[in-house]
Structure 1
C-alpha cells in the first residue's frame, strides 16, 4: 500500500475508494468513485489495486479537494466526485 493510502486508511469498497482525513481532533470520512479515479487520475480499470494506484497519483488534487470541503458540515461520508477535480476556468 502506498504512503498516501496508508496515511488516509484508504480501502477499496464496492466500487469506491473510502478514506479518512484527520483534521485536528476530527476524523472525516470520504469516498471517491471508480469513475472519478478513472476520469481524472488514470485508473485503467476498476479493481482495488488500480483504483488505489490512481488515488496515489491524485494525491495533490485529492488533498486540495478535501481541504476545500473541511468548512462544510457533514454527518457522514463526504463524496468527492468529478466536480471536485475539474479545472477552474
Structure 2
C-alpha cells in the first residue's frame, strides 16, 4: 500500500491524509510506484489533490483520510484532456 502522506488543517486541527500510488498513477501521471515518481506527481497536482481532500473532509468527520483512485474518477479537474466532454 504505497501512499504519499500530507496533513490538512480542519478547524485548527491536523488531519493525517494520504493519496494512494494507484490514484497518482491513474489520474496524475506518476510513471511508476517509485518514491520519486509518486512525489513528483503529487507535487505537480497538489492543488487538485488538496481540493479533493478538502471536499471530502467537509462531508466526513475523521482524523485520517486516504484518497483512492475512485475519489478522482469523476472530478472535472482530473478527467484528462477531454475535461467535461460529453462525447
TM-score where L is the length of structure 1: 0.73
Count of equivalent residues: 75
Runs of 4+ in 1 over 3 A off after TM superposition: none
**Which residue number corresponds to residue 22 of structure 2?**
35
Secondary structure at 1:70's aligned position in 2?
Answer: helix
Q: Which has the larger radius of gyration?
A: 2
Q: Is the contact made by 1:17 and 1:34 (CA closer than 8 Å) also made in structure 2?
A: yes
Secondary structure at 1:21's aligned position in 2?
Answer: strand
Question: In the TM superposition, what is the alpha-carbon distance from 1:61 to its structure 2 partner?
Answer: 1.6
* 5+ residue gaps, structure 2: 76-83
RMSD of Structure 2 on Structure 1 (CA) = 1.7
* 5+ residue gaps, structure 1: 1-13
Correspondences of 1:32-71 after superposition (within 5 Å):
32-71=19-58
Deviations 1:22-61 (A, max 9, x none): 2341100111111110010000111111101010122222
Q: Is the contact made by 2:2 and 2:20 (CA closer than 8 Å) also made in structure 1?
A: yes
